[in-house]
Amino acid sequence: MLQLNRRKFVSLLGPLAASTLFKTGPNLILHNANIITVDPNQPKAQAIAIFGDRILHVGTNEEVLKLATTFTQLVDMGERTITPGFIDAHSHPASSGRRHLIDIDCSLDSIAEIKKLVREKAMTLEKDEWVFGFKYDDTKTSEGRYINIIDLDEAAPDHPVIINHRGGHTAFVNSKALKMSGINASTKDPNGGHIDRDPNTGDLTGRFLETATDLIKADRPRLTDQMYIDGVELISNMLAKSGITSIHDASGGIKDLDAYQQANKNGVLKTRIYNHIRGFQIYKMIAAGVSTGLGDKWVKVGPLKSVIDGSISERTARLSEPYIGSKDDYGILVSDPEDLYTLCRDAHNAGWQIGVHSNGDVGIDITLGVFERLQKESPKKDPRFRLEHCTVINDSLVKRIAALGAIPCPFSTYVYWHSEKMKFYGAERLNNMFALRSFLDAGIRVTQTSDYPPGPYEPMMAIQSSVTRVGYDGQLWGPNQRITVEEAIKIGTLNGAYASYEEHEKGSLEAGKLADLVVLGSDPTQVDPMTIIDIPVMKTMVGGQWVYVV
Ligand SMILES: [Zn+2]
């Protein structure tokens, strides 16, 4: 067994590295641990031997300690729980890192507090300079209404202000911002967007939905290359703290790819990146001969990213039945299905994986139609089409997803964190939302995702939310979709690796794989599921190096 594992491992290394290995053995052994491996051949283990950035062996204390040489550092883990590093398969790390550097963080309990910060920020800026805010959440503020143009005019009459909802699909602006963007009450709704108006007066409320947000000509300060790198460094540190070792950047662009590479070269990147390429930027990449998978084990080119419909947290996802409390609000389709097809076809034919933001059942149906058409016209052996979010499903959609071998990437922390918004969907519809049980039962390799900023990214919250289906407020939503802790861990590790074609490299703790792992304060399979969120992350390792130690 030992020889076989060594051989398997050595075959992954060059001859020079292999000779070093036999001289020195593992440089690190973690033993006396409670290891959840996510390897079906050996689900539990006690010790793990690491050489360089790879796992050499996983097994009992006795087996693994036998490998030690005088050069091996032995660490007694005091029976702490170890899992593979978590993989967040849909998030927005580069852009949110930059926003954490520059914008006001509006995840506050009241509109009054947001106004105070806007006022303070405006005082530090020149006249006409824009005030930016993000992570505003309308259902988390005590006033029980949207922040509006009057609020923002009061806070900053002489500065244009734009506050983005944490869901990222709607924006809230003041009069100065409207004036500087040339928008007034007679401006028409663009295709795929909506400008909110007071139903009685017709006046603009300052709320812009979906493509209407593009009408706001916010002049972001010109960012230096160093600021892009600083944003990556900041978010990477935040992720390491939570136990996330790999992340898929779902709104990445060419510039982000560059920032990740520079951060990696500078030695400040602590998270492995799978960088989606957004919309039409893909054509530049195709012209340069680039496609999905180019890169290394730290920074890799991901799929094409496109979008068909709106957001769950902002209630713009396109549904077949209206939102609860409305007769005619079905949400928004933001792309023309034929345009979506053309973009996806060009990427598919150039060797790209494809991920389409598809939230509502109507949006998912359209996207699956595009994927089915592509496979009919130019079949690809292992396309691993991705349905980014894939929130509201039904039996027929699940069957089509399974038939295509497509990968849903649903929000993992929403049931817990956005519980108060679930009333807009209703208890019945929740039986078919974030539908992990349905996906697993159909043999679909669903992933764990935060979509941060829209959802918190902490993996322990994701596991608790998926296992209990209980919100922070005690509300139970769609208990039929509950899964086990073991299933949730696999979704958050190995399935994430599969979604980036890297299941042979990471996602479980087995010989030959990258040494990416997390040390937890207690075992999530043993505690009350309602307390998983309280389990502290003690240490995070990426490529054999501790990147976070409590
Ligand atoms: Zn997203």
Q: Give the count of beta carbons closer than 10 Å to the beta carbon of residue 473.
A: 9
Q: Which residues pair with 75 in a beta bridge?
A: 30
Using the mean position of ligand 1's atoms as its centre, give its distance from the Cα of residue 391 in Å: 12
Using the mean position of ligand 1's atoms as its centre, give its distance from the Cα of residue 524 in Å: 27
Give the DSSP letter string of 53-93.
TEEEEEE-HHHHHTT--TTPEEEE-TT-EEEEPEEEEEE-H
Give the DSSP letter string of 340-390.
HHHHHHHHHHTT--EEEEE-SHHHHHHHHHHHHHHHHHS--SS---EEEE-
Strands of 54-59's sheet, edge to edge? 54-59, 47-51, 28-31, 73-76
- pLDDT computed for residue 359 by the predictor: 97
Using the mean position of ligand 1's atoms as its centre, give its distance from the Cα of residue 129 in Å: 28
Q: Write out the chain's pLDDT in tens, 550 residues.
A: 344 444 444 445 544 454 455 556 999 999 999 999 999 999 999 999 999 999 999 999 999 999 999 999 999 999 999 999 999 999 999 999 999 999 999 999 999 999 999 999 999 999 899 999 999 999 999 999 999 999 999 999 999 999 999 988 899 999 999 999 999 999 999 999 999 999 999 999 999 999 999 999 988 877 899 999 999 999 999 999 999 999 999 988 899 999 999 999 999 999 999 999 999 999 999 999 999 999 999 999 999 999 999 999 888 999 999 999 999 999 999 999 999 999 999 999 999 999 999 999 999 999 999 999 999 999 999 999 999 999 999 999 999 999 999 999 999 999 999 999 999 999 999 999 999 999 999 999 999 999 999 999 999 999 999 999 999 999 999 999 999 999 999 999 999 999 999 999 999 999 999 999 999 999 999 999 999 999 999 999 999 999 999 9
Using the mean position of ligand 1's atoms as its centre, give its distance from the Cα of residue 540 in Å: 25
| 518 and 82 Cβ atoms separated by less than 8 Å | yes
Using the mean position of ligand 1's atoms as its centre, give its distance from the Cα of residue 275 in Å: 12
> Is the sign of the CA dihedral 126, 115, 167, 472 positive or negative?
positive
Using the mean position of ligand 1's atoms as its centre, give its distance from the Cα of residue 471 in Å: 21
- pLDDT computed for residue 55 by the predictor: 98
Pick left, alpha or beta for residue 112 (phi over 0 → left; psi -120 to 50 → alpha; otherwise beta).
alpha
- pLDDT computed for residue 223 by the predictor: 85
d(CA 87, CA 491): 9
Using the mean position of ligand 1's atoms as its centre, give its distance from the Cα of residue 379 in Å: 27
Question: Which residues make up the environment of ion ligand 1, defined by Cβ < 5 Å?
Answer: 250, 451
Q: Give the count of beta carbons closer than 10 Å to the beta carbon of residue 457.
A: 26
> Is the sign of the CA dihedral 106, 110, 113, 114 positive or negative?
positive
Using the mean position of ligand 1's atoms as its centre, give its distance from the Cα of residue 203 in Å: 31
Full 3-state SS string of 498-532: HHCCCCCCCCCCCCCCECCEEEECCCCCCCCHHHH
Using the mean position of ligand 1's atoms as its centre, give its distance from the Cα of residue 251 in Å: 7
d(CA 269, CA 457): 18
Using the mean position of ligand 1's atoms as its centre, give its distance from the Cα of residue 272 in Å: 18
Using the mean position of ligand 1's atoms as its centre, give its distance from the Cα of residue 214 in Å: 17
- pLDDT computed for residue 501 by the predictor: 98
The SS3 call for residue 497 is: helix
Using the mean position of ligand 1's atoms as its centre, give its distance from the Cα of residue 168 in Å: 8
Using the mean position of ligand 1's atoms as its centre, give its distance from the Cα of residue 414 in Å: 13
- pLDDT computed for residue 5 by the predictor: 45
Using the mean position of ligand 1's atoms as its centre, give its distance from the Cα of residue 89 in Å: 10
Which domains are assigned to the chain? 93-215 (3.10.310.70)
Q: Give the count of beta carbons closer than 10 Å to the beta carbon of residue 24.
A: 13
What is the helix (H) or strand (E) element at residue 406, kind and residue range? none
- pLDDT computed for residue 168 by the predictor: 86
Using the mean position of ligand 1's atoms as its centre, give its distance from the Cα of residue 66 in Å: 46
Q: Are strands 28-31 and 34-36 parallel, antiparallel or unpaired?
A: unpaired
d(CA 244, CA 113): 31
